[in-house]
Amino acid sequence: MRGSRLWIEGLVALFAIGVILLVPELLDLYFVINATIYVSMAILALSLALVWGFGGILCFGQAAFFGLGGYTYAIAAINLGNSDIPVLLALLVPAGFAALLGYFMFWGRLSDVYLGVGTLTVALILFKFFNATAGDAYKIGKAALGGFNGIPATPPLNLPWNSSIQLAPEQIWYVAAALLLLFYYGSRWLLSTHFGQVVVSIRENERRAELLGYDARRYKLLIFTIGGAMAGASGLLFANCVYVSPTMYSLSYNAQIIIWVIIGGVGTLAGPILGCILLQMLTAKLGTLEWLDPNFVLGTILIIFVLLIPHGLQPLIRSIGGYALAALGGRWSSRS
C-alpha cells in the first residue's frame, strides 16, 4: 500500500513539473501572468492550511501578512533599485509581525473565536490605514504609498545580485511555481518532524500536550510565524504580477483564503492548493458572464461543501481513487 502511494505521489510530482515547464511554451503572456497569480495565491492558501489545518490556529486575517509581504517588497525595491534585499524583507517583515502578534495572542491565552476575530481585526486595521495614505505626505523614502490606488510601479524581480537583468513574466512564473513546490514539500517535511508531530498533537489536545511537558504557546508561535513568512512570499509574488494596494488586506481576500482551505480540505496541504487554483479559474470565468454574480456561485459552492462534502476536495479525490483502484484490482484478480 505504501509502495503504491509513493508511486502515485511520484507520478503527481512529475506531472506537476511537466506542467510547470510547459506553461510558458503553450500559453500566451496573458495566461502565463494569470497562472502566476493563481500559483502565488495557492502559496497563500497553503500558509493558512498549515496554520489552521495542522496548527489548529483559527486565523481569519491571513491576508494581513500577504499584504505586508507585498508592500514591504514594493517599498524596499523602489528605494533600493533591486530585488535582492527586498525579497528577504518581504519574508522577514510578515514573519516578524506574525511573531509579535502571536506573542500577544498565545501568551494572552486567547480562545479560538477571539483569536480569529483578533487577526481579522488587525487585517482590517491595516486595510483602513493604507487606504488613508494618499498624498505626498505618505512616503517611505522614494516610495509613495498611494492610498487606495496603492503602488502601481513595482520593480520586478531581478537575477540574484545582478540588478541589471530583470526577470521576464515567464521567468517569474518559474520562480512562483518553484516556491509553491518548495513550500509544499517543505511543509510536508516539517509536519513529519518531531516539531510537526507536537504541533498536530497540540491541535488535537492542547491540555494533554502541556501535561506532557510541551509549551504549546511556543510551538503555536513558531508555526504561526512560518505561516506569516509563507503569506509574505505570496505577497511579493503578487506584487510582481499585479501591484500592491490596500485591497490585499480587505475582507474579501480574507474570506477567499478561508473558502479555499475549507473547500480544499482542512487538515490537508494539497487540497487547499487545488481548491484555490480551481476557484480562481472559476471566478475568472464567471467574471466574463454579466448575468451571473460570481459571489453567489462561490457562496453556493461553499454551502454545498460544508453540508455535503465537509472534509473537502482532497479526501474526496482520495476516496474516489481508492474505490477505483480497489475495483480495478478486483476485476484484474477475477480475470486471472
Burial bucket for residue 286 (CB in 10 Å: 0-12, 13-18, 19+)? middle
User: pLDDT digit string (tens) for 187-224?
Assistant: 999 999 999 999 999 999 999 999 999 999 999 999 99
Mean pLDDT throughout 29-39? 92
For position 308, what pLDDT does the model report? 86
Secondary structure of residue 245 in the 3-state scheme: coil
- Band of the pLDDT at 322, cuts 50, 70, 90? low
Total Cβ atoms within 10 A of residue 107:
11
When mean pLDDT is compared across 58-67, 214-223, 236-245, 314-323, the lowest value belongs to: 314-323
Q: Provide, rounded to the nearest whole percent, the portion of the chain with pLDDT above 90.
A: 63
Distance between CA atoms of 281 and 300, rounded to whole angstroms? 16
Which one-letter DSSP state was computed for residue 87? H
Place of cell 466574463: 288
**Cβ pair 134, 147 in contact under 8 A:** yes
